Amino acid sequence: MLTNFFVHPFRSIFLITGNGFNTSTAFLKVYSLYICFRKKYDMSKRKKINFCRKPLQWAILLLLVYLLVRPFFDKQYISDFEAYCPFGGMQAFATFLANNTLACSMTLLQIAMGIALIAGTILVSKMFCSFICPIGFFTEFLGKWGKKLKMQYTFSGIPDRLLRSLKYILFFLTFYFTMTTSELFCKKYDPYYAVFSGFSVDVMVWYALAALFVTIAGSFFIHQFWCKYVCPLGAVANTFSFTLVFIIITGLYFLYNIVFQLHWSIYLAAIAISAYTIELLKMKTGFFPLFRVTRNPDKCTQCKICDKTCPMAIPVSSLTTVNHIDCHLCTDCVTQCPEKGALLINKRKLTFLPPLVVVILIVAALIFASITEIPTVNIRWGEPDQQKKSNVFIQEGLSSIKCFGSATSFIEQMKNVKGVTGVAAFVKSHSAKIYFDPKLTSPFAIRKAIFTPVITFISEPEKSKNTVTIAEIGIYNFLDANDELLFYEKLKQQGAFYGFETEFGEPIKIRIFFDNGKITPDMIVDIIEKEEIKLKIDGQELIEKTHFKVAQGEVRIADISKSVFYQRMFTPVDDTFNNFDSFSPEQLAVVEIVLPELLIPAMQDKLLYLESHLSGNDGIVRLQTQLNYDKPLLRIHYVIAKVQAKEVYKLLSDKKITVYYKKGKTEVMDNPFDIPLHK
């Protein structure tokens, strides 16, 4: 009858109710069938969904899928799979504390997430592992299949204890290399980052493949292999669970450093070794975290469902308070326990608490990160007295400050500016706080030092043109190399601009060379002030925002001859090589030829190839270009004792030249210059 009910439900109802349809009788009969079905399949024993956990885990997974898919529909969007990573944030924070620098691409958002994780671990439990971590979600799923197929093994005793050291070793190495290089070392092997970023350039393929193999195979065959034995974030979380020990070691380190100097790597090693030792000996948390699963032995029937349910294989049924180091308060055991009140959190119905705390901490971290910013690099120099008397001003619009590397370069540039005593560079807002001695310099002088005047060639005037028009204008919000690049793109994409020169001033002075038959002064203003520019980078189209503003006033226009234009675009070169400095002027001679092609900026760029070819002869030691009125000269200096002039001419006129690259690589190519063989 039961089978019939599912195969022919309507016919069954007809049979149950007889020929006439009596609602109450029908309901009773259907209900008795349901009871029968429930008994047969024992629905009460089916797994209940942990509504406190699963929705959060699926939400994270959906977020990752969204990040993965969005770039296919939104070409402007670049997914950042590390944007919310608390582990990256912790490394960045540690780097910041040790060196006053932030790991590249790290912002306050990740740091805030890292701090939220630490706070959550100390107060509640290792909730990141149970509710957020995508690797934990995946390895738990794999583990379930390993268990179902009866292919899973649980380590215990000495192998279990020894393997637990792996995560502390990885924790130490990851922090050590990140803090010494200011680059996130975890990116090199993190299986999550490798997969979602499509093995991006930051990933060391072999490290990541090994980690991926360990994650997949380990989790399938060995119970929670990744979480228990390998995950460095698990090691960090455990370290903070042993809060008292962490505080004591940190306190001792700071006390010792008042008198002596102890490198932070010793402190890091002490933390890792102590945490591992405590885990090894106790396998329990201490006073923290404040919340734990508690079992009421009076209500517990010893059905052991909790033991089978626990993803970390903790013997819950034998404990009254679950303070096992592996417990991450996922509350699966509480959800599955069939006896009401047998498993609780801190003896109360607080199952909702861990996910609630997770959500509150994440929201708090997001809000905190959106309203504050810490510098990517913050360095002060000069005498302490000078430091005290320093003034500070904020320079915004430094769009070339994009990461740790560019922030550091900017600071190196500032170190050469007289009177500057320190810089805090901010990647997120592309700005810098510049400290300076007001007796020696001023914000105006510093802005002048930041600015590098450029002469940029865009395209050649048409052959039929004898003149080129120049417009001289003042422009605001044009400060660094990135602005120069965006400005160049703006003009280049219009197709009738030939080049531009910049000169410092407030506003910046720019002279633009263009075809007056195609472009008018009004058009120039519109082109410059347009707020968006499309760029093509690695085949991808990106839209960049620009904020250039043309200063009020006249746009000055003049015409110049084409040859004068070429002369203005000419950039002299003077390169020395092959131990030039070791020779006296008397030991050297010069070959000089007129090379008209050098007036064309594109050909000036190709001079590097010819220079490389010449440097293959160790008797040639210097290459110069000069303008002699409107004639460009190429001057090659050679050592009389090593090479003869005719050999230099021969090398210059070679149809095929050899270009030498780094690491011993060479390339043979056509000589871009057609230089006749001089006798």
- Under rule CB under 6 A, residue 310 binds ligand SF4: yes
Minimum gap (Å) between residue 88 Cβ and ligand SF4: 25
Report the C-alpha gap between 454 and 482 in whole angstroms.
12
Query: Angle, nearest 10°, between helix axes 86-99 and 108-123?
Result: 110
Report the C-alpha gap between 487 and 481 in whole angstroms.
10
Residues that bind ligand SF4 (rule: CB under 6 A) add up to a total of: 28
- Under rule CB under 6 A, residue 314 binds ligand SF4: yes
- Under rule CB under 6 A, residue 342 binds ligand SF4: yes
- Under rule CB under 6 A, residue 327 binds ligand SF4: yes
Minimum gap (Å) between residue 326 Cβ and ligand SF4: 7
Minimum gap (Å) between residue 311 Cβ and ligand SF4: 6
- Under rule CB under 6 A, residue 312 binds ligand SF4: yes
- Under rule CB under 6 A, residue 358 binds ligand SF4: no
Number of Cβ within 10 Å of residue 594's Cβ equals 10
CB of 330 or CB of 634, closer to ligand SF4: 330
Confirm if 383 and 440 have CB atoms less than 8 A apart. no
- Under rule CB under 6 A, residue 302 binds ligand SF4: yes
Minimum gap (Å) between residue 240 Cβ and ligand SF4: 17
CB of 313 or CB of 569, closer to ligand SF4: 313
- Under rule CB under 6 A, residue 300 binds ligand SF4: yes
- Under rule CB under 6 A, residue 330 binds ligand SF4: yes
CB of 305 or CB of 510, closer to ligand SF4: 305
Among the listed ranges 75-83, 247-255, 280-288, 333-341, the one in contact with ligand SF4 (CB under 6 A) is: 333-341
- The 3-class SS string of 155-188 reads CCHHHHHHHCHHHHHHHHHHHHHHHHHCCCHHHH
Helix (H) / strand (E) element for 217: namely: helix 205-221
- The 3-class SS string of 375-424 reads CCEEEECCCHHHHHCCEEEEECCCCCCCCHHHHHHHHHHHHCCCCEEEEE
Peptide bond into 289 cis (omega under 30): yes
Report the C-alpha gap between 477 and 492 in whole angstroms.
19
Among residue numbers 62 through 101, which ones bind ligand SF4 (CB under 6 A)? Answer: none
Confirm if 166 and 227 have CB atoms less than 8 A apart. no
Q: What DSSP letter does each residue of 300-339 carry, written as one string?
A: -----HHHHH-TT---GGG-SEE-BTT-----HHHHH--S
DSSP state of 658: E
- Under rule CB under 6 A, residue 295 binds ligand SF4: yes
- Under rule CB under 6 A, residue 328 binds ligand SF4: yes
- Under rule CB under 6 A, residue 194 binds ligand SF4: no
- Under rule CB under 6 A, residue 303 binds ligand SF4: yes
- Under rule CB under 6 A, residue 140 binds ligand SF4: no
Exactly one of 45, 47, 304, 650 binds ligand SF4 (CB under 6 A); which one?
304
Q: Which token pair is 188? A: 């090199």
Number of Cβ within 10 Å of residue 352's Cβ equals 12
DSSP state of 128: I
Among the listed ranges 101-109, 326-334, 431-439, 453-461, the one in contact with ligand SF4 (CB under 6 A) is: 326-334
Exactly one of 56, 132, 222, 293 binds ligand SF4 (CB under 6 A); which one?
293
Q: How far is CA 227 from CA 152, 172, 287, in A?
A: 15, 16, 22
CB of 203 or CB of 345, closer to ligand SF4: 345
CB of 303 or CB of 608, closer to ligand SF4: 303
B/e letters for 182-198, b = 16+ CB within 10 Å, e = fewer, are bbbbbbbbbbbbbbbbe
- Under rule CB under 6 A, residue 306 binds ligand SF4: yes
Q: What DSSP letter does each residue of 573-638 carry, written as one string?
A: -EEE-SSGGGS-GGGEEEEEEE-GGGGSHHHHHHHHHHHHHHHTSTTEEEEEEEEETTEEEEEEEE
CB of 295 or CB of 613, closer to ligand SF4: 295
Minimum gap (Å) between residue 130 Cβ and ligand SF4: 7
Residue with tokens 């005047």: 453
- Under rule CB under 6 A, residue 227 binds ligand SF4: no
Exactly one of 329, 508, 620, 634 binds ligand SF4 (CB under 6 A); which one?
329
CB of 285 or CB of 390, closer to ligand SF4: 285
Distance, CA of 169 to chain centre: 24
- Under rule CB under 6 A, residue 317 binds ligand SF4: yes
- Under rule CB under 6 A, residue 316 binds ligand SF4: yes
Among the listed ranges 97-105, 313-321, 624-632, 660-668, the one in contact with ligand SF4 (CB under 6 A) is: 313-321
Count the alpha carbons within 13 Å of 160 in the hemisphere toward its beta carbon: 17
Minimum gap (Å) between residue 139 Cβ and ligand SF4: 14
- The 3-class SS string of 340-374 reads CCCEEECCECCCCHHHHHHHHHHHHHHHHHHHCCC
- Under rule CB under 6 A, residue 301 binds ligand SF4: yes
CB of 311 or CB of 507, closer to ligand SF4: 311
CB of 228 or CB of 490, closer to ligand SF4: 228
Minimum gap (Å) between residue 330 Cβ and ligand SF4: 4
- Which chain residues interact with ligand SF4 by CB under 6 A? 293, 295, 300-306, 309-312, 314, 316-317, 322, 327-333, 337, 339, 342-343
